[in-house]
Structure 1
């Protein structure tokens, strides 16, 4: 259900977002049996002293810690990254 909650937050139309969120909440309340292991977004912890490497998952120091990017390449201290949520490319100094 956590992934559904995350997807609902991406809906731009506030009325539609509220209606879908209410239905998702109803679905979550119907599931009442023992331990439920749901798919969820992993929690993130900033590690400022770790060097940036190709293939690493990173976040901008000035951005949200859960707004993550995959490092594609590093040239001349500039990391080319792919934002995981929308697959847009960004370049930033390391």
Structure 2
């Protein structure tokens, strides 16, 4: 199934956090928080301003991002868990 977000929405796949701390302590699944890092899978065309002009998105497919902890709506497509969120929920783009 192919999914195309509308307006200023993006589709994000969560990136898994490390399961072992720097000190070598293994973190059990029950103690882990959901990751706030993800990769943009798809992005809409952008927000439409009040004057009718389209404002382009600040992120693109493939960008690695940090987003709000409780951002977006979780969906499951073909067994894969994804998030749909607004561009406003993105806090930063990770540049390597």
TM range, normalised to the smaller chain? Answer: under 0.3
TM-score of the pair, normalised by structure 1: 0.27
| Larger RCO, structure (CA 8 Å, separation 6 or more) | 2
Name the structure where helix makes up a greater proportion of residues. Answer: 1
More strand by share: 2
Q: Max radius of gyration: which structure? A: 1
So what's the TM-score if we normalise by structure 2?
0.26
